[in-house]
Amino acid sequence: MKTDLLHSECLVCKRKEEQYDSSALLCREKDCLADADLRALERPNFISKLPVSKNELDLAALPPLDFRQHAQDMFAMTAVPGFQEAGQYSKEQEKILKGLLPFQDNLLGKQFHLRCGNPILLQSKKLGSELNNVDDAFILDFSAYGWSNTLKDPRSWAIINHALGEKLQHLALWTAGNAGYSLSKIAQAVNRFLPFRERLNVYSIYDSYNDSVERKITFEIEKHGGHIHTILSQGNIIPPAEIQEQIYNRHMIESDQIWCVTDGLEGVGNEMYKLIFLQVLSKLKPSHVFVPVGTGNLYIGAFRALKHLIDNKFLPGSTKLIGAVPFGNNVYNDILKNSKTLNPRLREGGSNLNLGQPLMPKLVGEYSPLRQCIKHSLEEPFVEMMQITERSQKHALNALSNEIYREDFKVSFEPSSLAGFSALLDSQNNGEHIGSALVINTGMGNISENEENFLKSGSGLRRIPA
């Protein structure tokens, strides 16, 4: 996928290019460290260049958080008192915002009359008061999006709007569930309005080597018109070239017709996350942000937003971004294993002892296309990583399950979404004072029977007696 609509920028050396080209996403400049520690054969699997808008970022164009002042799709809304801003969101601001989005036009809204939904910013007074060292606790709830009820929806929204604008019909991804589910569901809603030859196709590739993806999950994707391809990769990375070859072999579609949108590779989703974080962080100004890290797409979006806000003095340098990874097999450990120069930067509080692996199938896995970006982020002093153990995940489950039916807030979460909450609770152990915590709830999409049983064990799925 090549587009003149977006510039590309290397996250590591900051070099910009006029055109965004998804076939050359790892920076090869001599003095750039983006490919440090990578072997030649590994290079096509990783990226350092991300899309950026051609227009200059204007924070004043981001919508207010108060929903009474704007009706912008995809951006956060809140009913928490204290976020009313003076004046109305103007047509002029709306126009500037449109120029910042990673697609030409919101065709899903305009032509197909669809809405993505909005993440909701909640304040939990009870969660805040139960934690001695925390003054205020806020939750940015991605389960409020309307398609997969997860963080994948704004990503899919950006991908499909971009694909419709650029007339790209074939979207392929390597997925463990929610990314393929969200994309298929939106594509299906669009396809109802399109003649056969113009329809969107979503190809979801699964690795049958680890059958953590149950039949139940792949069925949900097929139900929404997605194509399922199971391949046996022996646990190896399934790179874009192999995905394209698979699709060619089965559907005779040439590789230049296929856009590989494996989570983290798609770029436009990351840009969307960045804008949402810029909106929320510039207005909420939290002291600590807790984000689950799987492929790190959401995390890198938060990182890019925070970096901009700290560098431009909108937020103090003491603001912390805490990435929460599951204990054991995770992208952070893969970075440490492969890097000769990086020192471990684990946040204290959570135990680094082996207290069991948590059940977080959406976050487990060493490979991410964004590995070199995540590695680069760890050089910033405001970033810390925290490993979540089975014990702290259960702690978070119990805390939220007790909380969930009180009038304070109600969010739905799957086991992997507990990572951010676990990191906040674990932060208690190191005695650090947290002025205002923002925890990201990544939502509840497609879950396996194992995940369902785990939630029931904490009574998170308990019914209220009639």
Residues forming contacts to Zn ion in the complex (CB under 5 A) are 10, 12-13, 27, 32, 34
Give the shortest CB-128-to-Zn ion separation in angstroms.
41
Token pair for 127: 């969660």
Question: Strands 170-174, 258-260: parallel, antiparallel or unpaired by DSSP?
Answer: parallel
Complete DSSP assignment for 208-244: TTSTTS-HHHHHHHHHTT-EEEEE--TT----HHHHH
Give the shortest CB-14-to-Zn ion separation in angstroms.
7
User: Whose Cβ is closer to Zn ion: residue 288's or residue 376's?
Assistant: 376
Residue from 66, 111, 73 nearest 94 by CA: 73
Q: Residue 400 in contact with residue 460, Cβ under 8 Å?
A: yes
Q: What does the radius of gyration of the chain's CA atoms come to, in whole angstroms?
A: 21
User: Whose Cβ is closer to Zn ion: residue 34's or residue 205's?
Assistant: 34
User: Whose Cβ is closer to Zn ion: residue 32's or residue 253's?
Assistant: 32
How many whole angstroms separate alpha carbon 423 and alpha carbon 63? 29
Give the shortest CB-15-to-Zn ion separation in angstroms.
5
Give the shortest CB-5-to-Zn ion separation in angstroms.
21
Give the shortest CB-32-to-Zn ion separation in angstroms.
3
How many whole angstroms separate alpha carbon 131 and alpha carbon 324? 18
User: Whose Cβ is closer to Zn ion: residue 9's or residue 390's?
Assistant: 9
User: Whose Cβ is closer to Zn ion: residue 11's or residue 137's?
Assistant: 11
User: Whose Cβ is closer to Zn ion: residue 12's or residue 278's?
Assistant: 12
Give the shortest CB-42-to-Zn ion separation in angstroms.
17
How many whole angstroms separate alpha carbon 126 and alpha carbon 111? 43
How many whole angstroms separate alpha carbon 421 and alpha carbon 278? 21
What lies within 8 Å, CB to CB, of 269 at 6+ separation is 154, 155, 156, 158, 159, 261, 263, 297
